[in-house]
Structure 1
Amino acid sequence: MPFVTRDTDGRLIAIAEFPLDDSAEELAADDPEIVAFVERTCDLAIEGAGEAPFINADLAFIRVVEDLIEVLMRKGVLALTDLPGPAQEKLMSRRALRHWLAGVAGIVDDGGEGKII
């Protein structure tokens, strides 16, 4: 279960895999406060990037490329080691992040919209 940190008004301001301080509390991964925090954080990140239509298109396309690489690796056409080191690291980081999000919150929408539900 994730640990959360709150501000002085009791609003959730951070989610972590381990307690960040003595005041951190543990919440269920599907707690409505965690879901709302993740949705709010993702929305702010996309809005703050400026060109939202391009960002959204890029995010959707990145997922297509990831899926294509996964299919090629599963079929034995491509091995992870065929890719340059930095590309391997990025793929593994994204795979770990997606796994973490799915495991911690169980709220990742793999439907291609890039939204947290």
Structure 2
Amino acid sequence: MDKYAIIDIGGKQLRVEPGRFYDARHFASLRKAPRSNTKISITRVLLLRHGSSISIGYPWLNNAIVRGRILHDCFRNKLLIQKIYSKKKKRRIFGYRENMIRFVVDSIYVDGKNLNAC
């Protein structure tokens, strides 16, 4: 696609396109547990591409917003950590799952104009 944005969310950078869904670790803007179909706006847009023009923010673009909605909570695969003590014949295995939020990008706005309509 020729319309996409690179956003900073959950400590990672994601390349997002309208109409697709993505998984993120957490949203700093959401204080309580998110519900499905909650609308979100992401203002930390690092790069924006529309056709052949590319806009790069320093550090973020002031006039760009990515809007979407939360689909549901999800879990990533369990991360196992093994701790082996040599010469003692002892080992510990423990792990955890990261809480993830699946969201879909509905539209990308720049200067108040929707890029999907262009």
TM-score range for the pair, normalised by the shorter chain length: under 0.3
**Structure with the largest fraction of strand:** 2
Answer 1 or 2: which has greater helix percent.
1
Q: TM-score, normalised by structure 1?
A: 0.20
User: Whose Rg is larger?
Assistant: 2
Work out which structure has the larger RCO, using CA pairs closer than 8 Å and 6 or more positions apart in sequence: 2
